[in-house]
Homo-oligomer: A and B are copies of this chain.
Amino acid sequence: MATFDVKNIGHLRPAISRGETMPSPCAACSIRHLSLCAALQENEVQEMAAIVTTLEVGAGEPLIDEGQPAVHVFNVTSGAIRVYKLLIDGRRQMTGFLFPGDFLGLANEETYAYSAEAVTASTVCRFPRRKIEALLIKYPRMERRLLGMASHELAAAQEQMLLLGRKNAREKIASFLLMLSRRAEQRGLPADPIFVPMSRNDIGDYLGLTTETVSRTFSDLKSKGAIELLPAGKVRLAQREHLEEVAEGA
Contact = CB atoms under 8 A, between A and B. Distances in A.
Interface in A139-193: 140, 143-144, 146-148, 150-155, 157-162, 164-167
A137 B143 CA distance: 10
Contacts of A205: 165
A107 B158 CA distance: 12
Given A147-B150, A153-B154, A166-B208, A85 B159 contact: yes
A113 interface: yes
A155 B67 CA distance: 13
Contact of A151 (B89, B106, B160, B248): B106
Interface in A88-131: 88-89, 91-93, 95, 106-109, 113-114
Contact of A157 (B137, B147, B154): B154
Interface residues of A, number: 44
B154 A208 contact: no
A250 interface: yes
Contacts of A69: none
A16 interface: no
A197 interface: no
A150 B154 contact: yes
A249 interface: yes
A87 interface: yes
A36 interface: no
A95 B161 contact: yes
A121 to B, nearest CB: 25
A152 B108 contact: yes
A243 interface: no
A141 to B, nearest CB: 9
Contact of A165 (B93, B109, B137, B249): B93
Q: Which 8 A-B pairs have the closest CB atoms?
A: A165-B208, A87-B249, A157-B157, A164-B164, A150-B150, A93-B162, A93-B165, A108-B151
28 contacts: A85-B158, A85-B161, A85-B162, A87-B166, A87-B248, A88-B250, A89-B250, A91-B249, A93-B161, A93-B165, A95-B158, A95-B162, A106-B151, A107-B151, A107-B155, A108-B155, A113-B158, A114-B158, A136-B144, A140-B143, A143-B144, A146-B147, A147-B147, A147-B150, A150-B151, A154-B154, A157-B161, A165-B207
